[in-house]
């Protein structure tokens, strides 16, 4: 067997338990071949578990090493690594926890993982273009109604119902995350995740801001944002609210740029 074929057979054993390579493995003087191969199988799973622990430090802190190791073992079995870069291996953990028993019975664990993964993506994202207040100040007032905006590549948005981010905050304060998560009580909450230099940050968005950011990402003009915000605020206050959201987004680096839509 040539080396590439041997490597594929070894990978098949690690990923799927395929027995083909066992015919090529010899018992040693001290141990049987199945035990020798088991050393590699254990090491493969253990290294991937370490990768997951690095990605999900708060989840590990919340549930303890034993439960986390069981999650890692179940996830490795259900989702063999398919990417040469281990950085991407844990991307499916939030969905796995939210959809797979018994972990789905505590959905704040999945939401906590969702937040941690988003924060990791934001932290590791390449530097992106960010809109400045100076660029906005240079606009002619007549252009504002037709402005559309482009979101930066290094921000993320998530929506939770079961208190995952609240649990993150509790863990960060060395308090019990379970009561903090329970306080969410199933209410839908939108969150914005962004990077400030070398720190990933997140904050809650109220419903009108969350709506406005979704609409802005979809190409709504400033005038359309103002009109939509009238569902929450009086008409005479809508432009001020929209402008306030824009300022906050620009200061956080949420917006990459703008265009002036032809009337």
Residue 39 has pLDDT above 60, yes or no: no
- Number of structural domains (the chain) is 1
Per residue in 214-263, pLDDT (tens digit) is: 999 999 999 999 999 999 999 999 999 999 999 999 999 999 999 998 86
Range of the domain at 65: 1-95
Residues 6+ apart with CB under 8 A from 40: 10, 14
Among residues 215, 200, 212, 203, the alpha carbon closest in space to that of 118 is found at: 200
Question: Is 135 inside any structural domain?
Answer: no
With the C-alpha atoms ordered 126, 132, 136, 139, is the resulting torsion angle positive or negative? negative
- Bigger pLDDT: 47 or 156? 156
Question: Is 262 inside any structural domain?
Answer: no
Among residues 144, 86, 91, 100, the alpha carbon closest in space to that of 263 is found at: 144
- pTM metric for this prediction: 0.83
pLDDT at 82: 72
Helix (H) or strand (E) holding 162: none
Among residues 97, 103, 143, the alpha carbon closest in space to that of 116 is found at: 97
Question: Is 16 inside any structural domain?
Answer: yes
Q: Which of 82-91, 119-128, 144-153 has the lowest mean pLDDT?
A: 82-91
Residue 211 has pLDDT above 70, yes or no: yes
């Amino acid at each position: 067997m040539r080396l590439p074929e041997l490597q594929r057979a070894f990978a098949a054993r690690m990923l799927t338990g395929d027995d083909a390579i066992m015919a090529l493995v010899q018992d040693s003087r001290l141990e049987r071949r199945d035990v020798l191969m088991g050393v590699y199988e254990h090491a493969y799973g253990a290294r991937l578990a370490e990768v997951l622990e690095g990605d999900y430090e708060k989840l590990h802190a919340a549930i303890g090493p034993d439960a986390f190791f069981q999650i890692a073992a179940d996830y490795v079995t259900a989702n063999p690594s398919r990417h040469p870069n281990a950085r991407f291996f844990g991307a499916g953990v939030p969905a796995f926890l939210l959809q797979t028993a018994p972990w789905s019975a505590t959905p704040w664990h999945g939401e906590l993982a969702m937040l941690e993964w988003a924060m990791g993506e934001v932290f590791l994202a390449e530097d992106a273009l960010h809109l400045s207040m100076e660029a906005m100040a240079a606009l002619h007032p007549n252009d504002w109604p037709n402005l559309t905006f482009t979101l930066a590549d290094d921000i993320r948005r998530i929506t939770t119902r079961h208190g995952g981010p609240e649990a993150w905050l509790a863990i960060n304060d060395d308090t019990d995350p379970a009561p903090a998560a329970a306080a969410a009580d199933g209410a839908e909450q939108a969150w914005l995740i962004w990077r400030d230099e070398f720190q990933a940050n997140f904050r809650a968005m109220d419903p009108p801001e969350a709506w406005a950011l979704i609409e802005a990402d979809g190409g709504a003009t400033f005038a359309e944002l103002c009109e939509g915000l009238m569902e929450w605020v009086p008409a005479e206050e809508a432009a001020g609210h929209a402008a306030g959201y824009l300022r906050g987004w620009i200061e956080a680096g949420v917006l990459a740029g703008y265009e002036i839509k032809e009337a």
